[in-house]
Amino acid sequence: MIDLYTWTTPNGQKVSIMLEEVGLPYRLHPINILAEDQFDPAFLKVAPNNKIPAIVDTDTGLHLMESGAILMYLAEKTGKLWPQDFPTKWRVVEWLMWQMGGPGPFLGQVHHFVKFNPGKSTYAEERYSKEAKRLWGVLDRRLAEVEYVAGDYSIADIAIWPWISRFEWQTVDFANYPNVKRWYLALAARPAVRRGWDVLKEGRAIPMP
Ligand SMILES: N[C@@H](CCC(=O)N[C@@H](CS)C(=O)NCC(=O)O)C(=O)O
């Protein structure tokens, strides 16, 4: 059994989508980051960085924070969505790390400055909006070459997709990124993605371009 500590954000949705894809049983522990649940000392024991997502695997006793590490752990535990043949394995790691270092932090800053704090820093709004478009361009060029970012559907797609699902906050126009659109719609049609995206089972619909 996996205990999942999460909230309705892209980093959290990555893990619930993965759990739904691989079919592992899990118990949901909502951590309302707007109510500062993430600073509860009990949560700190599971997630020393005070951020969601985190898991505890009752089979192994391991607790784990950081969504990229959790995706790799669940993939290795189940033998799914992370091909282990050399060097294919590293193409998946490459795009997973790209998400962790690029779309995660930078699209997060677009949400922060453009969506929630407009007018507070023109410099930050311009800088992060420009970076958002650059990152979307990188993804679009990659997806012009391959069906999924690392070839076959993998944890790399699961890491990136929830960030793209917040496109309405990111000052981008899907019309300029046709390959991202094709890929986005393909993942949005997957029942496991739909279930995992609506992690708190609120009946919310995935935004459609
Ligand atoms: N690198 C971390 C980032 C986790 C993260 O930023 N989580 C956000 C929600 S998406 C959070 O818990 N924020 C609460 C806070 O910053 O206090 C991961 O990928 O797991």
Contact 148, 157 (CB under 8 A): yes
Range of the domain at 58: 2-81
Same domain membership, residue 67 and residue 109: no
Residue 198 lies in a domain: no
Structure confidence at residue 53 (pLDDT): 98
**Cβ atoms within 10 Å, residue 96:** 27
Index of the ligand 1 atom closest to the CA of residue 36: 17
Distance CA 75, CA 131 (A): 30
pLDDT grade for 34, boundaries at 50, 70 and 90: very high
Same domain membership, residue 67 and residue 153: no
pLDDT grade for 80, boundaries at 50, 70 and 90: very high
Distance CA 12, CA 4 (A): 9
Enter the tokens of residue 144: 């012009």
37 Cβ inside 6 Å of ligand 1 = no
Residue 45 lies in a domain: yes
Same domain membership, residue 62 and residue 94: no
Structure confidence at residue 176 (pLDDT): 97
Question: For 83-113, how does the pLDDT look when each residue is reduced to its tens digit (9 = 90+)?
Answer: 999 999 999 999 999 999 999 999 999 999 9
Same domain membership, residue 175 and residue 93: yes
pTM of the full predicted structure?
0.97
Same domain membership, residue 109 and residue 174: yes
State which of 5, 51, 160, 163 you would mutate to test the pocket of ligand 1, scoring each by most atoms of that ligand within 8 A of its C-beta. Answer: 51
**Distance between Cα 87 and ligand 1 center (Å):** 30
Give, using CA atoms, the residue closest to atom 1 of ligand 1.
Answer: 66
**Distance between Cα 189 and ligand 1 center (Å):** 26
Residue 34 lies in a domain: yes
Q: Which of 21, 15, 67 is nearest to 199 (CA)?
A: 15
Structure confidence at residue 144 (pLDDT): 98
State which of 11, 55, 107, 158 you would mutate to test the pocket of ligand 1, scoring each by most atoms of that ligand within 8 A of its C-beta. Answer: 11
Contact 19, 73 (CB under 8 A): no
Which CATH number is 65's domain given? 3.40.30.10
11 Cβ inside 6 Å of ligand 1 = yes
Same domain membership, residue 93 and residue 169: yes
Same domain membership, residue 16 and residue 40: yes
Structure confidence at residue 128 (pLDDT): 97
Residue 200 lies in a domain: no
**Distance between Cα 123 and ligand 1 center (Å):** 24
**Overall domain count for the chain:** 2
- What percent of the chain stands above pLDDT 70? 100
67 Cβ inside 6 Å of ligand 1 = yes
159: left (phi over 0), alpha (psi -120 to 50) or beta: alpha
Same domain membership, residue 94 and residue 186: yes
Question: For 147-195, how does the pLDDT look when each residue is reduced to its tens digit (9 = 90+)?
Answer: 999 999 999 999 999 999 999 999 899 999 999 999 999 999 999 999 9
Which CATH number is 139's domain given? 1.20.1050.10
